[in-house]
């Protein structure tokens, strides 16, 4: 069995065994583009130099100095007195409340699960109630908060619960 020395073996090249990389072709397109750009720039400079119009500036005239007019000092009323004289008219629109609202944060099959959720809400400073409901699919224990007079109050408590990682609460009209 013959042993082969793969580490010290010389690569087989078509050019007599020399270890030279193949030559890349000269980038004629890039050279032509560079020459065109240089030529165009040179022509532009020549054109500007020979076709520019010269403008003479007359530096012999001096600007006319105006004598400052005597300004009369305006009479300034104090700010508060000026505000008292103005009247602001505001149109107040009455917003009809769609409330009251409730927020439900869980519905559980067992009462201890609902109590655990209620305890978590108590740590956030919110008092929840557990309502037992019976439906066609069995008994459910719903953990809910409310009633809220405005949707904004309900959203505020919902964000409070999100901070303690209680998510998925739904807000709807009180029933």
**For 48-61, how does the pLDDT look when each residue is reduced to its tens digit (9 = 90+)?**
988 887 777 776 76
In percent, the amount of the chain with pLDDT more than 70 equals 78
Domain ranges of the chain: 101-173
The better pLDDT of the pair 108, 65 is held by: 108
* Distance separating alpha carbons of residues 9 and 31, to the nearest angstrom: 40
The predicted model scores a pTM of: 0.44
In this prediction, residue 113 carries a pLDDT of 95
In this prediction, residue 64 carries a pLDDT of 63
**For 102-139, how does the pLDDT look when each residue is reduced to its tens digit (9 = 90+)?**
999 999 999 999 999 999 999 889 999 999 999 899 99
Enter the CATH code of domain 101-173: 3.30.70.1070
Helix ranges restricted to H, the chain: 28-51, 79-85, 111-123, 151-163
Phi/psi of residue 11, nearest 5 degrees: -70, 150
Distances (CA, A) of 17 to 3, 10, 12, 13, 133: 22, 8, 6, 5, 90
| Res 146 pLDDT > 60 | yes
Contact 167, 117 (CB under 8 A): no
In terms of Cα–Cα distance, which of 89, 103, 79, 77 is closest to 168? 103
In this prediction, residue 129 carries a pLDDT of 95
| Res 77 pLDDT > 80 | no
């Amino acid at each position: 069995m013959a042993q082969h020395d793969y580490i010290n073996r010389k690569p087989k090249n078509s050019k007599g065994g020399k270890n030279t990389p193949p030559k890349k072709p000269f980038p004629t397109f890039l050279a032509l583009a560079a020459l065109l750009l240089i030529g165009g720039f040179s022509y532009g400079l020549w054109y500007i130099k020979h076709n520019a119009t010269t403008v003479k500036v007359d530096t012999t005239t001096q600007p006319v100095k105006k004598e400052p007019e005597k300004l009369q000092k305006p009479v300034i009323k104090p700010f508060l007195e000026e505000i008292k004289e103005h009247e602001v008219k505001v149109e107040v629109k009455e917003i009809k409340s769609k409330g009251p609202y409730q927020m439900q944060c869980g519905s559980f099959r067992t009462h201890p699960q609902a109590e655990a959720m209620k305890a978590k809400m108590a740590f956030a400073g919110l008092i929840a109630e557990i309502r037992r409901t019976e439906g066609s699919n069995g008994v459910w224990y719903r953990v809910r908060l409310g009633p809220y007079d405005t949707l904004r109050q309900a959203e505020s408590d919902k964000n409070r619960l999100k901070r303690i990682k209680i998510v998925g609460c739904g807000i709807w009209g009180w029933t």
